[in-house]
């Protein structure tokens, strides 16, 4: 099976490495000049990875075309642009968008793809950079189940838990559920760390205790430890979490679904962005809660 991947960022590059490691004939492209060529040159697997100059070139060489870019407009440009996927894809090809974007935009793109005799799966992921590197991503899929089964070996090269949720857009809606919980877990860890600090507790001892009980979570284990170590390097950037929460709140507004917790985290992260820290990891939110508590960040 010929596979293409468009987008070689923090997530896309390790996903592409795992596809190459699994033995797929892989063609890659990215919007950053020279990045695809550099990536292809460093991969020593057989068959070799080939760099393409545009999404259209990737599509023309591939049976399955994966996109892993930032936001809804980026996916639309990659698909519909003059040098986009739709300009180069052969009838019968499958597009798998693994970005996190609007469910409505996904439904529109799937409809456009069907009119061109292409299949479209939305398959956003959870697990972060670590999951992408390890090939252990959780993948949430919307689209035709038979198409998913045909593409399952491709997805299994990148993830361990692959779940079908329904028609186009359903995978994106499931991912937004994930982002709601991620945001609120993040806030709860920030509040616990600040409360513990003001109470005079040793935060490393607190972390060790809490990770062994009912309050444990990935956010506590990973982001809580980073907060204690004052490590604000990004595994997932604040600005990307903000993009996802905007998608959540836009969809919630359209369906009259109140999400006060998600809205609160969105506003608090805006304070992080106002400091020029949008490229920090989301654990940087603890600095805002510390200031609200009168602590020196």
CA 165, 171, 176, 179 torsion-angle sign = positive
3-state secondary structure of 74: helix
Q: Token pair 């509040």 is at which residue?
A: 191
- Could you tell me the two tokens for 162? 């692959």
Check 130, 175, 198, 246 and give the catalytic one: 175
CA angle 197, 198, 200 (to 5 degrees): 65
130 tagged catalytic: no
3-state secondary structure of 165: strand
Q: Which helix (H) or strand (E) holds 66?
A: strand 64-67
3-state secondary structure of 3: strand
Nearest residue to 27 via CA among 70, 63, 81 = 63
CB 281 within 8 A of CB 235: yes
Radius of gyration of the chain (CA): 20
Report the C-alpha gap between 250 and 176 in whole angstroms.
11
- Could you tell me the two tokens for 163? 């779940």
- Could you tell me the two tokens for 80? 């519909």
- Could you tell me the two tokens for 294? 């009168």
Q: Following CA atoms 237, 133, 142, 30 in sequence, which dihedral angle do they give, to the nearest 10 degrees? A: 70
CB atoms within 10 A of CB 116: 15
Q: Which residues are catalytic?
A: 175
């Amino acid at each position: 099976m010929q596979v293409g991947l468009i987008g070689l960022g923090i997530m896309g590059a390790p996903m592409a490495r795992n596809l190459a490691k699994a033995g797929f004939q892989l063609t890659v492209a990215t919007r950053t000049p020279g990045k695809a060529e550099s990536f292809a040159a460093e991969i020593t697997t057989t068959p070799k990875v080939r760099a393409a100059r545009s999404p259209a070139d990737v599509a023309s060489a591939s049976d399955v075309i994966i996109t892993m870019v930032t936001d809804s407009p980026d996916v639309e440009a990659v698909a519909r642009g003059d040098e986009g996927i739709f300009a180069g894809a052969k009838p019968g090809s499958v597009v798998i968008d693994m970005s996190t974007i609007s469910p409505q935009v996904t439904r529109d793109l799937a409809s456009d793809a069907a009119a061109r005799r292409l299949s479209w799966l939305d398959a956003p992921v959870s697990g972060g950079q670590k999951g992408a590197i390890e090939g252990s991503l959780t993948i949430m899929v919307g689209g035709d189940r038979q198409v998913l089964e045909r593409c399952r070996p491709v997805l299994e090269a990148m993830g361990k838990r692959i779940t079908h949720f329904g028609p186009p857009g359903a995978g994106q809606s499931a991912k937004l559920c994930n982002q709601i919980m991620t945001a609120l877990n993040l806030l709860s860890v920030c509040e616990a760390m600040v409360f513990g600090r003001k109470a005079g507790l040793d935060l490393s001892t607190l972390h060790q205790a809490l990770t062994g009980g009912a309050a444990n979570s990935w956010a506590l284990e990973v982001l809580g430890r980073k907060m204690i170590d004052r490590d604000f390097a990004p595994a997932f950037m604040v600005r990307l979490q903000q993009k996802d929460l905007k998608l959540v709140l836009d969809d919630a507004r359209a369906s009259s679904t109140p999400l006060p917790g998600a809205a609160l985290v969105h506003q608090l992260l805006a304070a992080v962005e106002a400091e020029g820290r949008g490229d920090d990891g989301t654990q940087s939110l603890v600095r805002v809660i510390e200031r609200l508590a009168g602590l020196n960040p």
